[in-house]
Structure 1
């Protein structure tokens, strides 16, 4: 390696990541996880469905793991977001610090815009 120059080794396999220019949500948007219970393999846990959170970041677009699980190619790619939830909203019995959060990566087709003021997005708007 020459001083002042950075080199990067190439991975033998292409990355599955692609940018997500057509994403539906932006960082800071309030969302709710769909209450949907389709049969088969789903990447979104049951306990988070129906919960409200805030988009923390846009991770990119990836092959859909719900299709890959059945041997399909995972296309079209789905946008993946990291969503932040108040810990005591997800687990009402939680007795830890009120500002604790859970962050979870959720694909766009599981998200809906949150409406109304019943959004327990705090602590401090989960920022």
Structure 2
């Protein structure tokens, strides 16, 4: 696999932070990997990204957990949501420099160098 695609540096706008919520774990530009595990029930994270490495393009803010909302729960605690950029070549073997962005909640991400 190649190096995750570069992203332009962006500042995170603090008003998107939910009051009292934990600060986002990953900053724009951080290399992250989507966890491979499967959780029972509703999952918002695409299977084709499981185990793949990308780069955080931006922190979108804090949002209710849709995996909890799907079961009529309150979605608490709110979770940081990230836009992560992946090289198409790393996903499907071709792509000639093309990328795909996906919005992924923090609990599905780990550092890109995690074992």
In the aligned structure 2, how far is the partner of 1:18 from the partner of 1:71? Answer: 24
Aligned partners of 1:48 and 1:90 also within 8 Å: yes
In the aligned structure 2, how far is the partner of 1:91 from the partner of 1:50? Answer: 13
Find the counterpart in structure 2 of residue 81 from structure 1: 82
Find the counterpart in structure 2 of residue 23 from structure 1: 24
Find the counterpart in structure 1 of residue 108 from structure 2: 110
In the aligned structure 1, how far is the partner of 2:89 from the partner of 2:17? Answer: 33
Aligned partners of 1:31 and 1:112 also within 8 Å: yes
In the aligned structure 2, how far is the partner of 1:101 from the partner of 1:113? Answer: 20
Superposition TM-score, scaled by structure 1 size: 0.72
3-state SS in 1 of match to 2:100 = strand
In the aligned structure 2, how far is the partner of 1:37 from the partner of 1:111? Answer: 13
Superposition TM-score, scaled by structure 2 size: 0.79
3-state SS in 1 of match to 2:72 = coil
Point out 4+ residue stretches in structure 1 off by more than 4 angstroms. none
3-state SS in 2 of match to 1:89 = helix
3-state SS in 2 of match to 1:90 = helix
Larger gyration radius, structure 1 or structure 2: 1
In the aligned structure 2, how far is the partner of 1:29 from the partner of 1:52? Answer: 10
In the aligned structure 2, how far is the partner of 1:45 from the partner of 1:55? Answer: 16
Which structure is higher in RCO with an 8 Å CA cutoff and minimum separation 6?
2
Find the counterpart in structure 2 of residue 42 from structure 1: 43
Structure 1 residue ranges without an equivalent (≥5):
1-16, 117-127
Q: How many residues align?
A: 97
